Structure 1
Amino acid sequence: MDNGVATKIHSETKKRAYSRLGYTKLETAEIVEALNKLLANYSVHYQKLRNFHWNVKGADFFDIHEKFEDQYNDAKVAIDDIAERIRVFGQTPYSTMKEYLDESEIKESSSDLTAMEMVSEILKDYEILLEHMFNVINVGLDKGDSGTVDMMNAMVKKTEKNHWMFTAFSKK
């Protein structure tokens, strides 16, 4: 083996030897930062879904009330998965409303919207969530983090389907 190549391999091994799961501290920080931003957005989205579930009114009440409940239950699972993935890296996930609100692009919404305005808000949230999911995928691919990428691919598939379904509903 070429001495320069052996030195480079030794240097890479040594650099990674002090990090969790074989990622450098910098790689871990980049993955966790992307996951925490997604976590913050998901957490605000979750609360918005609960707000809408409790406060939807009108002719679409039964359909939308139940669908919002399904969505916040799915969001709760996603939030837990993202936070636990951050813990896998030995880091602490965001966990306060202040952190969520400070970091999230998704904003809180009032409860006096019509059912269709609520659906429109959720569609915008899905687009923001997807943008953050794709960012996490890109970071994961760049760092060789197949576990995070696999988790995100499943979330993307589910979110895209939800986006399609809410879009179809809103086109009455």
Structure 2
Amino acid sequence: MVNTLNHIGLDKKASSSLSDKLNELLANYQLFYMNARGFHWNIKGDKFFELHLKFEELYNDSLLKIDEIAERILTLGFTPLHTYADYSEISKIKAAKNVSSGIEAIKEILKGYEVLLPLERELLEMSGNSDDEGTNALMSDYIREQEKLVWMYSAYLG
């Protein structure tokens, strides 16, 4: 009899699909992280101190999520993408170059969430259908947190 379960007791085929989608999320997070880091470095203007700190929080949080996503892929029995070439090829989030305006940076962050949130919702549904509570809990946490951030960043723009 062929074993259809992976080492943590989940369906191998479903775990493969989840890992592919998690790698897509990982690639997008890597570009989101790099953009936030650039905003942190290059921000100018009267809101410099406020936004400089906010962007630092954002890239530090993204770095944690990148690690969690990669480790989840490994837990499912697959390999996380780990080259810039892979990230830039797969990511729907594109590099935001030379952004120093706070308003423009916030708009770019919101555009990033327009990519991340649908991916996370798709993963939430996929993981729910696969009884993958680990991925499901991770996505649920990300979605709840990011919906609030979208509200806050949108409120900042007026």
Say yes or no: does 1:147 pair with 2:134: yes
The question of whether the paired residues in 1 share the 8 Å contact of 2:11 and 2:130 is answered with: no
| Alpha-carbon separation, structure 2, partners of 1:28 and 1:66 | 37
* 1:21-40 correspondence runs (5 A): 21-40=8-27
- Note if contact 2:123-2:139 (Cα within 8 Å) is conserved in structure 1: yes
Extract structure 1 runs of 4+ deviating beyond 4 A.
Answer: none
| Aligned equivalent of 1:3 | none
Unaligned runs of 5+ in 1: 1-10
Q: Which runs of 5 or more structure 2 residues have no equivalent in the other structure?
A: none
Residue identity matched to 2:37: R
Query: 1:81-120 alignment to 2 at 5 Å?
Result: 81-120=68-107
Distance in 1 separating the partners of 2:30 and 2:143? 16
Q: Report the TM-score when normalising by structure 2.
A: 0.94
Query: Matched residues in 2 for 1:56 and 1:113: separation?
Result: 4
Match of 1:47 in 2: 34
* Structure 1 vs Structure 2 CA RMSD: 1.4
* Equivalences, count: 158
* TM-score (structure 1 length as normaliser): 0.87
Partner Cα distance (1:25, 1:121) in 2: 37
Secondary structure of the equivalent of 2:82? Answer: coil
Match of 2:155 in 1: 168
Q: 1:71-113: per-residue Cα shift (whole Å, max 9, x none)?
A: 0011011111111101101211011111111110000011144
Decide whether the 8 Å contact of 2:110 with 2:150 is kept in 1: yes
Of 46, 49, 57, 1:70 maps to: 57
Conserved in 1, the CA contact under 8 Å of 2:113 and 2:146? Answer: yes
How many Å separate the matches in 2 of 1:72 and 1:114? 17
Residues 37 and 56, structure 2, Cα contact 8 Å, conserved in 1: yes
Judge conservation of contact 1:137–1:149 (CA < 8 Å) in 2.
Answer: yes
Determine the C-alpha separation between the residues in 2 that align with 1:156 and 1:24. 25
CA contact (8 A) 2:127 2:133 kept: yes
| Aligned 1:116-135 pairs, distance under 5 A | 116-135=103-122
